[in-house]
Structures are given as C-alpha cells and as structure tokens.
Amino acid sequence: MENLSIYCPNLDEHLSVPPGATLYQVAQSYRNALGFEPVNARVNNLTVALDWRLRESCQVEFVGLTEESGRHTYLRSLCLLFAKALHDELPHYHLSVRHSLSGGYFSVVRCGDKGITDEQLALIKRRIDHLIAEDLPFERRTVPAEEAVQIFTAMGEMDKVDLITSSGQPYVTYHYLDGYPDNYYGSLLLSTGQVQLYDLVPYLGGVLIRVPSIVQPTELAPFEPQQPMREVFDKQSRLLTLLDVSYVGSLNKAISTGHFSEIVQVAEAAQEKEIAAIATEIAEAYNQKGVRIVLVAGPSSSGKTTFTKRLRLQLMANYLRPHQISLDNYFVAREFTPLDDNGEYDFEHIEALDLELFASDLRRLLAGELVDMPLFDFTQGARVYQKELLQLGEGDLLLIEGIHALNPRLIPEDLQPLTYNIYISALTALGLDAHNRIPSTDIRLLRRMVRDHNYRGYSAIDTISRWRSVRAGEKRWIFPYQNRANVLFNSALLYEVAVLKTLAEQILYQVPACVKEYSEARRLLRFLDHVRPAPINEIPSTSLLREFIGGSSFHY
C-alpha cells in the first residue's frame, strides 16, 4: 500500500507517511524539525488527540503548549490525574475545578464541609508524581449512554449523570486512567508521563492548579494575586448553589421542568442589586470625596455599554446627573492608528486613542467650560463634530466607558483623585460538570459572535479570526490594570449560555471545514451540544444580555 501524503503547515512541506500511523508516531519522526513537543493536532482543521490514526492524505497541523488548545489538553489531563489521585488516597473527597485565577485554575476539594489540609494535598501530589512516573495511558471508551449513567451513578458523580441524561446523546465517550473513569470534553495527552510540569498549591480556601506558561512552556505560568476576582466568582457560585444550577446538567433540568423563568429573574435581580450598590457608593464619593469621573473598563464583550447605561439610571436615582462618554469617540484618524505585528490596525492599542485631545476636553469640562464633544465615524475612519455640546454643573458627573478606561495614561495624574474606577468582566462560575469548567472567554466569544453577526454583518469566521488578536490586546492593555478598580462587576448571567446556544449554533454551522477557524467553531459546537436551548422571550429588555442578542430597550 502506498504511503499517504500529509501536508504539515508547521514545516510547510508534504510528508510521506505509512497508512495507519498515529499522529504521535509522525510527530516523533519529525521531532527535531518541529522544535516543540506536540500535545494535540488539527487534522483538516479538526482538533484530535495524538493517537488519531491516519487513513488518508490530509493536512496535519501539530499543536503545542503555546496555543490555548494545547493548554486545554494539558489541563484536562492534569485534572484527570488530580481526580484519580484523590480517588485513590482520599476517596470520600470530591474535586470541583472552578475557573481560571491568579495564573492557574482554582479548584475546591471537600468532604462535606471539610476542606483539604496541606498534609493531605502533599499526599495527593506524591500520588500524582507516582502516576506520572508509571507513564500510564489515558484511554477513551465509547459506551451507550445508559451504561455511562450506571458507571457515574455508582461513583456518586450525579453532575455527570445529569449532563449525560439531559444532553440526549445516545453514546458517551469517557476517559479511563488505571481503573478510574472520568469524562472530559476534548482531547487529552496520550499518557501520564507527558505531564512534565505542574503544581498544586493551597490558595484562598481551595487548591490552585498551576500549569506551564503559554509564553514560556518550560516554566509554570507566573502567579498573580487576584483575591478580589475570587470573591466575585464566589458570589455567583453562591447563587448557582441557591438555585441548584451549579452545572449545565442541572440547568438543563431546570429548563425542561419550567424553572427557567425564576433563574432569569433571580440572576437579573442580583445584577441590579449590585449596580444599585455601586451607584450608592459613587454618590457618597461624589459628596464626600469630590469624585467627578467614573471610569468603566473591561475586556471585549463584557457588557460595558449596557452596564454603563444601567449605572446611569441608578446614579440618577441618587440625584446625580451622569453624562456618558465613550472612549471610542476619541480614536485617532484611521491612518494614524498603530499597526500590530501582522500589519493590521491595532484598535486595542492605547495610542489608538487621541490621549492629548481627551485630556484637554476633560480638563475643560471639569473647569465648567462648554465643550463640543467628538463623535467617531467608523465608516470614514475619522472624528466628526455635530454640535454635541456638554457643560458640567452642580450634580453633574462624567461616566466614561472603554477598554482603556483604567489605563493610567488616560487620566492626567493630578485628576486621578477625582475618579472612581470600575472593572467589568463576564466571569462565569457555571461548569459543564465538576471536572469540566466553562472558560469565561468562551462566553464572551459567543456574545461577540452573535452581536457581530446580527448587527455588524460579520461572519463567525471573521469573529474567530480576530479573537486571538483581541485576546492579545486584552492581556497587554486591559488585564494589567484591573487591580486599579474600586469595584469589580461580574456581567455573566447564570442562564445566558442556554440563550446564546440557539443563536450561536446557526452562525457556527456556517463555518466550512476548509478554513482554519473550523477547529474553534467545532469546539464551541461540541460544548453547546450539551446545553438545552432556553426561550429568548424570557429575557427582560433591560438585561445586559440584550446588548448582544437584540431586543434591548436601550439605544446603542
């Protein structure tokens, strides 16, 4: 039988490969040429594990730890190791992997109300090290859903049972490590020996799972203290527990049994309570500390615009007159916009804003002058003036919103004591199950995709292709300044993934297999397969989610 012709973009050449060879065998044959250790691969733009056998000529792109996909594969494998070691050494304890935090992933290990001690955690790490040294295979098994339900019911893993039964899949593929079954929704490493670098450390009442840096995979990702963000996640976790919807399976059950409306009402009420509390604090700062500027910053699709509009109403209820200013109106003319490494316009760059003009207008406003405010015409790529006149008086307040609002370069140093800083992001505490977290970035990506398609004429390909650059800009220009905030607001809604599902799926299905964005589209579709759709008409017109799905009573 003739060899297969495999095109490898990593090497930009065609490889001659015998039929039936695994991706791992191919990677080992070209290890030196690749220059890195692959952890998964994309075959014709579909992400697969390295035990995939090649049966026909195709394109194969190997993925390492410098990509998010590779990082997820590594984390899933480490989580299975963690769960297996916990089962072996402390069988009555349960692991819950919650969310990314402080450069790692925050998890909770409990037996009833009892947490894990430092000595017990050291025992778990020794067991993990032993499993790594044995280089045991991560196996996959596909069984009828009824059999998988029996397996996980016997283990007491009802979060997995709920997900399997509510998603309606006839067969279930689960993972298996040395007699221990677990379920992960994506590729794993081939064996435990491939987990070369990790750490488990006690942190904020739980355990921080540390993995290699995406920038420098030979080192652990740097630790970044983020206790305020942990507190934000904890608030949502408490609501999820109260409503008994901590995982997608239980949310699915709530939707099918007619309890979705109550979840929406509680989630919306909780957000309005938070916004009202922030407005009250700002009013006190206005009266007691002379605050005149409220800054609202956050990453893409965090809901800054709607949050700012709702905050404006609450400030008016506190007898203040807020004037909303979007930093987008201070973009420099298109020809002066900085370029990124690929020669594309870098709208996330701080110098994409006319900082000098903004500072001048800000000073004039605070001095009580009448200022003609700019508007940015995105079609022309230039600022225009339409006699939008603004003058501040008693009780007036500036409400400034944009991704760079907390960057210290934006507000002149002598004016910074007059500011109240708000950081907003969509931090979801909902999990697929106890061992499978839902990345908050996935929720933001789905929000942006739906909005871009419905209101900006962009396809899913456009949004996905741009997302990596957006994320890079956030890491450079937004995340470093979140600790300057007086308050963190969580814009994630407990129920939103069930609403986004229907809208996002029809967009994602339009991505053809011949484009590189297909792998990300398929990953998101596999995730959404487990979620039951919820009715959009249950969502109030003032909801932050309406900014993305449409039907808002606010004007944008």
Query: Domain 4-64 belongs to what topology?
Result: Ubiquitin-like (UB roll) (3.10.20)
Domain boundaries, the chain: 4-64, 69-228, 229-547
Say if residue 1's pLDDT is above 80: no
pLDDT for 391-442, tens place per residue? 999 999 999 999 999 999 999 999 999 999 999 999 999 999 999 999 999 9
Confidence class for position 10, pLDDT limits 50, 70, 90: very high
Q: Which residues pair with 326 in a beta bridge?
A: 401
Q: Distance (Å, rounded) from C-alpha 246 to C-alpha 235? A: 12
Q: What is the mean pLDDT of the chain?
A: 95
Q: Are 203 and 190 in contact (CB under 8 A)?
A: no
348 or 268, which is more confident: 268
Confidence class for position 345, pLDDT limits 50, 70, 90: confident
Q: Residue 542, exposed/middle/buried by CB under 10 A (0-12, 13-18, 19+)?
A: middle
Rounded to an integer, the average pLDDT of 94-117 is 94
CA distances from 250 to 244, 246, 320, 399 (A): 7, 7, 42, 39
What pLDDT is stored for residue 341 in this prediction?
A: 81
State the DSSP string of 213-278: -SS-TTSBPPP---HHHHHHHHHHHHHHHHHT-SBHHHHHHHHHTT-HHHHHHHHHHHHHHHHHHH
pLDDT for 490-532, tens place per residue? 999 999 999 999 999 999 999 999 999 999 999 999 999 999 9
The alpha carbon dihedral of 74, 76, 80, 83 has a sign of positive
Say if residue 307's pLDDT is above 90: yes
Say if residue 225's pLDDT is above 90: no
Sequence-distant (6+) residues with CB within 8 A of 135 are 191, 192, 193
- Nearest 5°: phi and psi at 61? -115, 120
One-letter amino acid at 509 equals: Y
What pLDDT is stored for residue 133 in this prediction?
A: 98
Q: For residue 361, give the nearest of 394, 393, 389 by alpha carbon.
A: 389
Query: Among 3.40.190.10, 3.40.50.150, 3.40.50.300, 3.30.980.10, what is the CATH number of 69-228?
Result: 3.30.980.10
What pLDDT is stored for residue 410 in this prediction?
A: 97
1 or 486, which is more confident: 486
Give the rounded distance of the alpha carbon of 323 from its chain centre: 31
Q: Are 22 and 51 in contact (CB under 8 A)?
A: yes
Confidence class for position 157, pLDDT limits 50, 70, 90: very high
Rounded to an integer, the average pLDDT of 336-346 is 86
- Decide yes or no: CATH 3.40.640.10 for domain 229-547: no
* Threshold 0.95, pTM exceeds: no
Confidence class for position 479, pLDDT limits 50, 70, 90: very high
Say if residue 223's pLDDT is above 80: yes
Residue written as token pair 């069930």: 498
